């Protein structure tokens, strides 16, 4: 029986979904041109991951193996719909900017990955902690990429201007290619500094 903190650290850092397992890249790249979008997206994923993990684990003994995937997808979809409706009602501006990517949380491989690898074999509370951990690890990556892109692309952080008038926005940071480069750099740095891959 693993301790709760250990489960959290494991799914948030050691086995981080984005940089270690290369899952959920789509949304990590698409919504990160602004930090606010990254944060909201991260929170949405934490919510759906934690609760879907909890629910899937709760009914794991009563789920026939043959329809397992379909049941998991439907449970995940139910929580994502809640996130989508909440955003549409309370943060319509951000909901519009995130566009289809909120709905795409359903096909985000992280959710299926955690459901299969963890929630279908562990108790509900552990699965909940694991979901929060994986979600925090994912949000962390989004915020780092969002920080770099917003700082250089708009000269601001969370919409607050930090660069003076002398600053010229790098329009490439707003465009798609920069997201690929920054994620690649992030993975490179983490491989060398955190996992100590031998050069």
Partner 1 sequence: MDISSFVLFWAAIFTSNILLTNFLGMCSYLSVSKEIESSFGLGISVIFVLTITTGLNWLVYRYILVPGNIVYLQFIVFIIVIAAFVQLLELIIERYAPALYYTLGIFLPLITVNCAIFGVSLFMVIRNYSFLQSIAFGAGSGIGWLLAILMLAALRRKLKEKLVPVGLQGVGISLIITGIMALAFVGFSGIVQIQ
| Residue pointed to by tokens 């951990």 | 133
- The residue within the footprint of partner 1, chosen from 63, 73, 97, 156 (CB under 8 A), is 73
Binding mask 134-173 for partner 1 (x = CB under 8 A): --------------------------------------x-
What 66-74 contacts at long range (C-beta under 8 Å, 24+ apart), as own/partner pairs, is: 68/120, 69/112, 72/112, 72/115, 72/116, 72/120, 73/106, 73/112
Closest CA to 137 of 23, 2, 51: 23
Contact between 100 and partner 1 (CB under 8 A)? Answer: yes
**Coil, helix or strand at residue 13:** helix
Token pair of 190 as six digits: 């983490």
Closest CA to 31 of 97, 127, 107: 97
Contact between 43 and partner 1 (CB under 8 A)? Answer: no
Residue closer to partner 1 (CB basis): 7 or 115: 115
Contact between 178 and partner 1 (CB under 8 A)? Answer: yes
Contact between 70 and partner 1 (CB under 8 A)? Answer: yes
Binding site for partner 1 (CB under 8 A): 22-27, 29-30, 70, 73-74, 77-78, 80-81, 84-85, 99-100, 103-104, 106-109, 112, 172, 175-181, 183-184, 187-189, 191-192, 197-199
């Amino acid at each position: 029986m693993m301790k709760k903190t250990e489960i959290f650290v494991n799914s948030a850092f050691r086995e981080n979904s984005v940089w270690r397992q290369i899952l959920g890249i789509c949304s990590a790249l698409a919504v990160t041109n602004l930090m606010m979008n990254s944060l909201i997206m991260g929170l949405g994923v934490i919510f759906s991951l934690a609760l879907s993990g909890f629910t899937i684990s709760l009914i794991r003994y009563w789920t026939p193996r043959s329809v397992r995937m379909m049941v998991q997808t439907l449970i995940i979809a139910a929580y994502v719909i809640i996130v989508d409706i909440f955003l549409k009602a309370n943060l319509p501006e951000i909901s519009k900017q995130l566009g289809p990517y909120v709905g795409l949380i359903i096909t985000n491989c992280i959710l299926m990955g955690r459901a299969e690898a963890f929630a279908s074999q562990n108790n509900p509370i552990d699965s909940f902690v694991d979901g929060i951990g994986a979600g925090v690890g994912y949000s962390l990556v989004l915020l780092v990429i969002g920080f770099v892109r917003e700082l250089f692309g708009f000269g601001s952080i969370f919409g607050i201007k930090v660069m003076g008038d002398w600053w010229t926005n790098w329009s490439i940071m707003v465009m798609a290619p920069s997201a690929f480069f920054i994620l690649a750099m992030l993975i490179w740095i983490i491989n060398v500094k955190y996992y100590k891959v031998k050069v």
